[in-house]
Amino acid sequence: MRREVPLAITAIVGFALIIVYFIPHPPFNHSRDFFEDLFFIIAAFAIWLGCLNLLKVNADKVYRQKKGWLFSVVVWFGFFLMVIVGFWEGRGFMNPGTTFYYLYDKLYYPLNATMFSILAFFVASASYRAFRARNKEATILLIAALFVMLGRVPFGYYLSSWLPEGWRLGNITDWIMDFPQTAAQRAIMIGIALGIVSSSLRVLLGLERTFASGE
Amino acid sequence: METIGIWIAALLTLGIFSFLYKDNPFYKFCESLFVGISAGYWFVTTFWQVFMPKLADNLVAGRLYYIIGGVFGVLMLLRLFPKIGWLSRWSLALVVGTTAGLYFTRYLVSNGMIQVQNTIIPLYVKGNLSQTIGNLVIVIGTFSGLIYFFFSKEHKGAFGGLAKLGIWFLMLSFGASFGYTVMSRMSLLIGRMDFLLGTWLGLIR
Amino acid sequence: MNFLEKLLALDRRIIFLFIAIAVALPLFFTVKLHIEVTPVVRNLHNALEALPPGSKVLVSLDYDPGSMPELQPMAESFFRYCFMRDLKIIIIGLWPNGPIQANSALEVILNEPDIKKKNPKYGIDYVNLGYTAGNEVVIERMGSDIPVTFPKDYSGSKTEDLPLMKGVKNFNNIDFVYNLSAGYPGTVEWVLFGVDPYKIKLGAGNTAVQAPQIYPYLNSGQLVGLLGGMKGGAEFEIATGHPAKAVKFMFSQSVSHALICFFILIGNFAYFATRKKKGA
C-alpha cells in the first residue's frame, strides 16, 4: 500500500500524458486537463508545505533556545507581517497603493535585490584570485570570457572601432555566441535531454522508486 | 510614509552589504527577515491566486471533482506529521508522474530531436564563407561535445582526440557564460547603487 | 614578501571597494555611448514591428526583485512599445512575483506623458491575470484553455468578463508571446511547452546568466529573438527609439567590466611572474 499506490499513480498519470501527446483528442485530452488541474492545486499545497515547514523548524529553534534563536523570531515576524497584511487586503492585495504592495516595495524588494547583488563582489574577487590561464583549457575559457566581457559593452566598441566592420570586439563576440558557444550548449542540451528521457522512463516503469519509498 | 519606506529599504540594503566586511548580527537580522517575508509573500499569493480561484470558486460553482485536488493537497501537508507522513507520497506521485510524462515527450522533441535536426546542416554554403565556417563549427562542436559526454568508451585515440576537442568547445562556452555572469552580477549591483545614491541620498538623477 | 606576492595576497575587501567605486562613480555622469543593436535583438524588434495594431501579446514575467535591474527595464520598454503601437497586453506570471513586478512596471509607464495621452484602459488595452502555481504545466494547460488556467485576474475579476479576453481561448488566439525570465520556469519551459507543441511565436528577455543557454533555440528558430541582460535591454531601448534606464546604466556596466578584465590580467601577470621567480 505504502509503495504500490504511489507507483501506480505515477505510471497511470505519466502514461496518460504521453498517450495524449500522440492522440490529443477526447477522451485522452480530458484526462490530461484533469491531471493538470489537480497538479496546480497540489503545487500550491507544496508551496504551503514549504512555508509551514519553515515555521516549524524555526519554532523548534525558539522552543529549544538554540544558538541564534532570536533570528528565528525575526523569521516568524516577517512571515506573519506579510500574511496578516495580505489576508487583510483581500484579492486586490497586489495593487499599487496597498499596504502589501508597500511592504513588498520597501522590504522584500531591497532585501531580495541586495542579496543577489553582493554576488558582484564575489565574482570580482574570484576573477582576481582564481581565474588563471594555468593550462590550454583554462586559457580558452579566459580568452572567451575577456572577449565577451568587453564585446558586450559599449567600451568594447571604442576599443576596437579602428578595426574594419566584422572584426570588432562586438562582432567577434557575436560570432562566439552564435557558433562555438551555441554548439557546446547544444551538446549539453542534447545530453541533458537524453538523461531526462531515460530517467522519466525509469520513473514511469517503476524502476526508479526512491521517491515512493523512504522519507 | 514614502520617505520612511525609502529609509527602511536603504538600511536593509546596507544591512545586507555589511556582510561584505564580515558576518554580523545586522546582516543576520536582514537575512532572517528576508526569509520570513519571502515565505509570507508566497503563502498569501498562493492563497489568493490559486486556492481561491482554482479550488474554492470551483467547489462553490459545483465542480465537485476539484475536491480530489484538495484531498491530494492535504495529503501533501501530512508530511509535517512523521507518523502519517507517508501518505504525502501519493500526492508526490501525482506530481512526479505528471512531470515525468510531460518531460518525456517535450525534452525528447525540443531539446533532443529538434536540436539534432538543426545540427544536420550544409557543410558548404556556396558564396558564403562565414556561414560555411559557422556551420562547420556548429556540427563539429556539437558532435565533439557529445563525444566528450560519452563515458561508456575510454577517451583514447581518435575518440579521445574528439573528446578533447569537445572539452575546448565546452571551455569556450563556459568562458562566454562567465562573461555573461559578470554582466549579470554587475547589473544587479548597479541597481542597488542607483537606489542608494539616487532614490535614497538624491545624489544622482 | 615582494610587491607581486603582496599583490596576489590582496585583501578581498580592497577588491570589493574597487568594484563599488567602479559601479558607483559612473552613475554620476551622463555619457552618451555608442550602443550597437545586435542581430538577436534586431530580430525580436522586427518580429514585433510585423504585428498589426490590436494584436494580442502575452507577456509572462518570470522573475523576482533579485533580477529586477536587468529585467525590469525590459518590461518597462516592452510595455511602452506595446502601448505606443496599440498592441494589447495580457500579463501572467509563472513566478509568484511576476504579476506584482508587472504592476510596478505599469505604474512607471502609465505615468509617462506619451502614454498618458494614449490613455490605455485596464481590461481593454491590458490585463494582468496574475500568478498560478504549477510551473511548466501552466503553459501546457494554457495551450488548451487560458480562462481555466487563469479563471480570475490578479484582483479577482472573472477573466472571461474582461473585454480584452473575449474570444481568447488558447494560444491560437495569441499573436506573440514575450517572456522575461530569470531561471526556472522561464524561457526554456516556454520553448518546450509552448513553442514546439502549440507553435507560438516567442521572443524573450533573459538575465545575462541564463542567456548563453538559450542560444541553441535562436539557432534552431524556436526563439524569434533575445534580449540578453542589461545590454540586451539597452539595445531594445535603442531599437524602439526610446533610450531609458538600461541605456543610462551602460556606462557603469562598461567601467565595471573593464575593471574585472583588468583584475583578471593583473592577477595572471602576478601569478606567472611569481611562479617564474620561484621556478628560477
pLDDT tens readout for residues B69-116: 999 999 999 999 989 999 999 999 999 999 999 999 999 999 999 999
Residue of A184, C116, C189 lying closest to B102 (CA atoms): C189
Mean pLDDT computed over C44-58: 98
Percent above pLDDT 70 for chain B: 100
To the nearest 10 degrees (0 to 180), the angle between helices B88-106 and A4-22 is 30
- The type of residue at B134 is G
**pLDDT score, position A29:** 87
Cβ proximity of C263 and C248 under 8 Å: no
List the domain range (segments joined by +) for residue B134.
119-205
Give the C-alpha separation, B69 to A38, whole Å: 5
Q: Provide mean pLDDT across the span A176-181.
A: 96
CA distance A185 to B146: 10
Contact by Cβ (8 Å): A206, A8: no
Taking CB atoms and an 8 Å limit, are A181 and C212 in contact across chains? yes
The CA–CA distances, whole Å, from A39 to A18, A156, B91, C140 equal 16, 48, 9, 12
Residue B198 inside a domain? The answer is yes
Q: Is a pLDDT exceeding 70 seen at residue A215? A: no
Read off the amino acid at residue A167.
Answer: W
Distance from CA of B38 to the nearest CA of A (A): 7
Cell match 556596466: residue? C253
Name chain A's partners: 3 or more CB pairs within 8 A: B, C
Range(s) of the domain holding residue A152: 121-178
Is C257 close to A33, i.e. CB distance below 8 A? Answer: no
Question: Looking at the 3D structure of chain B, how many domains does it have?
Answer: 1
Taking alpha carbons only, the member of B39, C154, C101 closest to residue A93 is C154
Distances (CA, A) of B140 to A41, C214, C220, C251: 46, 19, 16, 38
Whether residue B34 is predicted with pLDDT greater than 80 in this model: the reply is yes
Q: What is the mean pLDDT of chain C?
A: 95
Residue A5, pLDDT above cutoff 60:
yes
- In C, minimum Cα distance to B100 occurs at C137
What digits encode the pLDDT tens for the residues C214-245? 999 999 999 999 999 999 999 999 999 999 99
Confidence class for position A196, pLDDT limits 50, 70, 90: very high
Cβ count near C51 (within 10 Å): 17
- Full DSSP string of C79-140: HHHHHHTT-EEEEEESSTTHHHHHHHHHHHHTTSHHHHHH---BTTTEEEEEE-S-THHHHH
Whole-number Cα distances in Å, C16 to A123, A156, B20, B180: 10, 23, 8, 19
Residues of C139-159 as b/e, b for ≥16 C-beta within 10 angstroms? bbbbbbebbbbbbbbbbbbeb
Helix (H, G, I), strand (E, B) or coil at B148: helix
Q: Is residue B141 part of a domain?
A: yes
When divided into structural domains, chain A yields a total of 1
Mean pLDDT of C182-192: 96
pLDDT of residue C8: 84
Asked if pLDDT for residue B130 goes beyond 90, the answer is no
Answer yes or no: is B8 within a domain.
no
Q: Which of C13, C69, C192 sits opposite B187 (nearest CB)?
A: C69
Residues of A in contact with C130 (CB under 8 A): 94
Which residue in A has a C-alpha nearest to residue B100's C-alpha?
A200
Q: pLDDT band for A26, please (50, 70, 90 cuts).
A: confident
User: pLDDT tens digits for C86-107?
Assistant: 999 999 999 999 999 999 999 9
Min Cα separation A13/chain B (Å)? 5
A82 vs C: CB within 8 A: no
Q: What is the pTM of this model?
A: 0.95
Handedness of CA A149, A153, A159, A161 (dihedral sign): positive
The residue of C264, C266, C268, C272 whose CB has the most chain A CBs within 10 angstroms, and thus the best one to mutate to test that interface, is C264
Q: Which CATH architecture has domain C36-246?
A: 3-Layer(aba) Sandwich (3.40)
Residue C205 pLDDT more than 60? yes
Lowest mean pLDDT among A100-104, C172-176, C271-275: C271-275
| Tens digits of residue pLDDT in C128-171 | 999 999 999 999 999 999 999 999 999 889 999 999 999 999 99
Q: Is there a contact between A111 and B119 if contact means CB atoms under 8 Å apart? A: no
- Give mean pLDDT, residues A35-57: 95
**B139 inside domain:** yes
Provide the mean pLDDT of chain B.
95
Specify the range with the lowest mean pLDDT, choosing from B120-129, C77-86, C201-210. Answer: B120-129
Specify whether the CB–CB gap between A37 and B67 falls below 8 A. Answer: no
* A118/chain C closest Cα distance in angstroms: 10
Task: Give, rounded to a whole angstrom, the gap between the first and last alpha carbons of chain B.
Answer: 21
Q: Residue A36 domain-assigned?
A: no
pLDDT reported for residue C280: 64
Cβ pair A48:B111 closer than 8 A: no
3-class SS at C155? coil
Looking at the domain assignment, is residue B51 inside a domain? no
Is the separation of the CB atoms in B43 and A82 below 8 Å?
yes
Mutate to test the interface with A, among C7, C19, C272 (most CBs of A within 10 A): C19
Chains that touch B (3 or more CB pairs under 8 A): A, C
Looking at residue A214, its pLDDT comes to 59
- A contacts of C152 (beta carbons < 8 Å): 91
| A9: nearest CB among B97, B116, B144 | B97
Chain A environment of B85 (Cβ under 8 Å): 215
For residue B201, being part of any structural domain is answered with yes
Nearest CA-CA partner of A109 in C103, B48, B202: C103
